[in-house]
Amino acid sequence: MTQGIQGFAPQKRIFSHRGQHFSSACLSCSDFANCCGSKSTAELGTEFDGASPTKKKGLSRRNALKIMGGVSAALALAPFAAAGSFLIPTISTKFNPVLIAKKEDVPVNGSTVFWFPFTTDPTYTNMLIHLPPDLAAKTGQEFVAYNRTCIHLQCLVSYLSNSEIIGCPCHGSEYRPTDGWPVAGPAAQIGRYLPSVKLRIDGDNIYAESVNLDLIGYGSDTPPS
């Protein structure tokens, strides 16, 4: 403390406690009973510890009641642990299939963005990719769909038809369009697949059926089935 402040330190106040007088300095003393009281430690021991003067071995009745009180308080508060689920909202994992596009709407080597299963967050946007013939031959599927949330830091990735790659604009991660495996950038260091959206192709219509919400922005350890 600087000198200026010290100059204004107030005078010690006198407090009264149980008929004895203490200066204000005593209140900050950790051993209040012993260092400030005018009685000896032995005398104070009987007065301050609250136990009966004749010490018995084992748990005194007073202490047993204290423990019971503590247990009772814990039991009274225990049901509130369930309120923790209040903080973590449940989210439906059963979705109605959504018509996302007609086959002819998405040209070969083109893509379209669709919201699924919700429309409350950009991380629920996905891309439907019409694979070019050479890639389609590899996967045996003409259409694939992935969630757009980059597994690195949750930017939104897009299909780049010029380079036939899925690219992230933020940190330059790149994914294979065939299975969503990261091939370059920071996502490649993490090494998990982009979560795929399960599709159902009904004649000319393409429906989105399901996606694992827990893997959005995190990635999947298994390739799309």
Residue whose C-alpha is closest to residue 12's, from 23, 4, 2, 3: 23
Is residue 91 close enough to count as binding another protein by CB under 8 A? Answer: yes
What stretch of H or E contains 61?
helix 61-77
217 in contact with another protein (CB under 8 A): yes
32 in contact with another protein (CB under 8 A): no
Query: Residue from 133, 172, 191, 223 that binds another protein (CB under 8 A)?
Result: 172
As a whole number of angstroms, the distance between CA 44 and CA 178 comes to 82
Judged by CB under 8 A, does residue 163 bind another protein? no
User: Which residue from 119, 162, 163, 222 is in contact with another protein, where contact means CB under 8 A?
Assistant: 119
Choice between 130 and 152, CB closer to another protein = 152
Q: Which of 31, 43, 47, 121 binds another protein (CB under 8 A)?
A: 121
Q: Is 89 in the site for another protein (CB under 8 A)?
A: yes
φ, ψ of residue 158 to 5 degrees: the values are -140, 160
How many angstroms separate the CA atoms of 178 and 165, rounded?
A: 9
Least CB distance to another protein at residue 98 (A):
11
User: CA of 146: how far to CAs of 107, 130, 172, 199, 212, in Å?
Assistant: 17, 12, 18, 10, 11
Joined tokens for residue 113: 């963005």
Rg over alpha carbons for the chain, rounded to the nearest Å, is 35
Distance, CA of 145 to CA of 130 (rounded, Å): 9
From the list 34, 109, 139, 154, which residue makes contact with another protein (rule: CB under 8 A)?
Answer: 154
- Which residue in the set 2, 96, 222, 225 belongs to the binding site for another protein (CB under 8 A)? 2
Is residue 182 within 8 Å of 211, Cβ to Cβ? no
Q: Which of 170, 179, 198, 209 binds another protein (CB under 8 A)?
A: 170
Which residues would be at the binding site for another protein (CB under 8 A)? 1-5, 8-10, 28, 30, 87-89, 91, 113, 115, 118-125, 152-156, 169-172, 186, 189, 214, 217-218
